[in-house]
C-alpha cells in the first residue's frame, strides 16, 4: 500500500489564547492553518474541552496547561508559550506525550538592555527622586552626588544574551565594561572578562545582574557581596528576584554604602496587576522600582509572536525542534523526493534496532536518519522512499515503545 499525502495544512487547527500578537497570526495565516484566537486565558476545565481537536496551542503566562489538559488533547502536536517562562505548562508530562513546548527566550533581550541603560543614567542622576519631588511641587536643583556615566565601570554578572547586548550599548555610552560569567565568553567590543564575581564587585561603579534563576544564583548577592561593592556604587537587578537578598540590599542602601539601586524583579511577585505590593525597598532614596517590565515593550511582543509561531510552524512542517524547552533537538535539512516519518519513543535499549528491522524487512530505503534523545524519550526522524512509507509508519507506530509516529511529507 502506498499513500503519499500527509495531513492537509488547511485542516491543522490552531488555538491561540491571551491576545497573542498579530505577528503570530500572520505566520499561521501564511501556512493556511485554521486559526481561532481568543483575547483571554481559559481555566483548565474549559481549556480541556477546547483543545480536544486542536493541533497547535498558543498561550501566554496566565493559562495553566496541566497534565490533565494535555492528556485530553489527543491531537495536540505542539504547544507554544508566547512569553519567556514555561512554568505554567507541565513540560515534563508534555515530553512523555511527545509534545514539544516552545517559548521565546530572546525576543525581549534588547528591551531589557535598553531599560538597563536608562536605569544606569537614572541612578547616576537620581532621576526617580527628582521626578518625585517635582511631582510633589518641590524644586530641589542639586548636582552633588550626580554623575555622568561616561568613563564609569559597569560590571555585568551573567554575560548571556542580555549581558552581552548591554555591554555593547554601555560602551557606546562611554562606559568601561567588566563582566563575569560562569563559562568562558567571547568579549564584545572592548568589554573585559573578569576572573571572578568578587573582582567585578570590587571594581564596578554599577553592577548589573543578568543570570538565570538556578540553585547557584539563588541569593548570589547577599550582605557579604554587597559589602564587597565599592562605596557609593549602584546595584541593578532585572534578572530574577531570588538572586538578591532584598533585606540586605535595603540595609546597604540605608547605611549609604550603596548610592542607589534599580530593581525590576522580586522574590515574590503578584500574579495580576493591582494595589498592595510591598517590598522593604519602598521609600528608600535613589531606588528605582519597576514591576517586572524589563522585557515589556511592543517590539518585544511582536518579536515573541513571530519567534514562537515560526518555531511551531517549523516543527509541524519539518519536525524541527530547535529551541524546544522539553525535547531533544533536531534541525533536519529537507530531502526532496522523500517521505519523512517522525517517531517519539521511550528511551529504552533496543528501540532503534526494532525500528531499523521494520524498515529493512519492508525493503524501505533510508535516505536520512537522525536520532536525538534525552533521559526519557528518543526523537527519531527518517526520510524514506515514498513507496513504503505508510506501511513503515504503521509498523513503527505499533511498537510497544512508540509514543507518537507521524508522516510529514
Q: Which residues are catalytic?
A: 240, 269, 292
Residue from 162, 304, 309, 403 binding ligand NAI (CB under 6 A):
162
By CB under 6 A, residue 110 contacts ligand NAI: no
Whose cell is 515534563? That residue is: 92
CA distance 261 to 120: 9
Residue from 155, 295, 305, 378 binding ligand NAI (CB under 6 A):
295
By CB under 6 A, residue 252 contacts ligand NAI: no
Whose cell is 483543545? That residue is: 51
For ligand NAI, which is the closer residue by CB, 256 or 291? 291
- Can you say how many angstroms the Cα of residue 237 is from the centroid of all Cα atoms in its chain? 18
Grouping H, G, I as helix, E, B as strand and the rest as coil, residue 22 is: helix
Residue from 100, 160, 167, 305 binding ligand NAI (CB under 6 A):
160
Considering only residues 48 through 107, tell me which ones interact with ligand NAI, judged by CB under 6 A: 84, 105
For ligand NAI, which is the closer residue by CB, 214 or 398? 214
By CB under 6 A, residue 158 contacts ligand NAI: yes
User: What cell numbers appear for 241 in the block?
Assistant: 528576584
CB 70 within 8 A of CB 93: yes
Cα 108–Cα 331–Cα 363 angle in degrees, nearest 5: 160
CA-nearest of 405, 409, 358 to 383 is 409
For ligand NAI, which is the closer residue by CB, 219 or 331? 219
Minimum separation from the CB atom of position 267 to ligand NAI (A): 13
By CB under 6 A, residue 239 contacts ligand NAI: yes
CA distance 326 to 309: 17
Residue from 48, 122, 128, 163 binding ligand NAI (CB under 6 A):
163
Grouping H, G, I as helix, E, B as strand and the rest as coil, residue 91 is: helix
Minimum separation from the CB atom of position 193 to ligand NAI (A): 12
Minimum separation from the CB atom of position 36 to ligand NAI (A): 29
Number of Cβ atoms within 10 Å of the Cβ of 334: 12
CA-nearest of 331, 351, 357, 349 to 403 is 351
Minimum separation from the CB atom of position 198 to ligand NAI (A): 12
Q: Is 199 exposed, middle or buried (0-12, 13-18, 19+ CB in 10 A)?
A: middle
For ligand NAI, which is the closer residue by CB, 212 or 256? 212
Residue from 23, 91, 95, 108 binding ligand NAI (CB under 6 A):
108
Whose cell is 538578591? That residue is: 244
* Torsion angle of C-alpha atoms 233, 238, 243, 247, degrees rounded to 10: 60
Kindly give the pairing relationship between strand 34-37 and strand 13-16: parallel
Residue from 62, 257, 292, 346 binding ligand NAI (CB under 6 A):
292
For ligand NAI, which is the closer residue by CB, 193 or 385? 193
Residue from 201, 211, 244, 308 binding ligand NAI (CB under 6 A):
211
Site residues (vs ligand NAI, CB under 6 A):
84, 105, 108-109, 112, 157-163, 180-183, 210-214, 216-217, 238-240, 264-265, 292, 294-295
Amino acid at each position: 500500500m502506498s499513500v503519499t499525502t500527509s495531513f492537509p495544512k488547511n485542516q491543522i487547527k490552531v488555538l491561540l489564547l491571551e491576545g497573542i500578537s498579530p505577528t503570530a497570526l500572520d505566520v499561521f495565516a501564511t501556512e493556511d492553518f485554521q486559526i481561532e484566537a481568543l483575547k483571554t486565558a481559559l481555566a483548565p476545565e474549559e481549556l480541556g474541552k477546547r483543545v480536544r481537536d486542536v493541533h497547535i496551542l498558543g498561550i501566554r503566562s496566565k493559562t495553566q496547561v496541566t497534565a490533565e489538559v494535555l492528556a485530553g488533547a489527543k491531537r495536540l502536536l505542539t504547544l507554544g508559550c508566547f512569553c519567556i517562562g514555561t512554568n505554567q505548562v507541565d513540560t515534563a508530562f508534555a515530553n512523555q506525550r511527545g509534545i514539544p513546548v516552545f517559548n521565546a527566550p530572546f525576543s525581549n533581550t534588547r528591551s531589557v538592555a535598553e531599560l538597563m541603560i536608562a536605569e544606569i543614567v537614572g541612578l547616576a542622576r537620581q532621576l526617580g527622586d527628582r521626578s518625585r519631588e517635582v511631582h510633589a511641587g518641590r524644586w530641589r536643583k542639586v548636582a552633588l552626588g550626580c554623575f555622568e556615566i561616561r568613563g564609569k565601570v559597569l560590571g555585568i554578572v551573567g554575560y548571556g544574551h542580555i549581558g552581552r547586548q548591554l555591554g555593547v550599548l554601555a560602551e557606546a555610552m562611554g562606559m568601561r565594561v567588566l563582566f563575569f560569567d560562569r563559562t568562558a565568553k567571547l568579549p564584545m567590543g572592548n568589554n573585559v572578562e573578569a576572573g571572578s564575581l568578587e573582582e567585578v564587585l570590587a571594581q564596578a561603579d554599577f553592577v548589573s545582574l543578568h543570570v538565570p534563576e538556578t540553585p547557584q544564583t539563588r541569593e548570589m548577592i547577599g550582605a557579604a557581596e554587597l559589602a564587597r561593592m565599592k562605596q557609593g556604587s549602584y546595584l541593578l537587578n532585572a534578572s530574577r528576584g531570588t538572586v538578591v537578598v532584598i533585606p540586605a540590599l535595603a540595609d546597604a542602601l540605608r547605611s549609604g554604602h550603596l548610592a542607589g539601586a534599580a530593581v525590576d524583579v522580586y522574590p515574590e511577585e503578584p500574579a495580576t496587576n493591582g494595589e498592595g505590593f510591598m517590598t522593604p525597598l519602598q521609600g528608600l532614596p535613589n531606588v528605582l522600582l519597576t514591576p517586572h517590565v524589563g522585557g515589556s515593550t511592543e517590539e518585544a511582543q511582536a518579536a515573541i509572536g513571530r519567534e514562537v509561531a515560526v518555531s511551531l510552524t517549523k516543527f509541524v512542517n519539518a519536525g524541527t525542534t530547535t529551541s524546544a524547552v522539553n525535547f531533544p533537538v533536531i534541525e533536519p535539512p529537507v530531502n526532496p523526493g522523500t517521505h519523512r516519518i517522525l517517531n517519539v519513543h521511550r528511551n529504552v535499549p533496543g528501540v532503534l534496532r526494532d525500528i531499523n528491522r521494520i524498515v529493512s524487512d519492508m525493503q524501505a530505503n533510508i535516505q536520512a536518519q537522525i536520532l536525538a534523545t534525552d533521559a526519557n524519550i528518543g526523537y527519531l526522524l527518517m526520510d524514506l522512499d515514498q513507496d513504503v512509507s505508510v506501511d513503515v509508519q504503521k509498523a513503527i507506530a505499533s511498537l510497544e515503545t512508540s509514543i507518537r509516529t507521524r508522516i510529514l511529507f
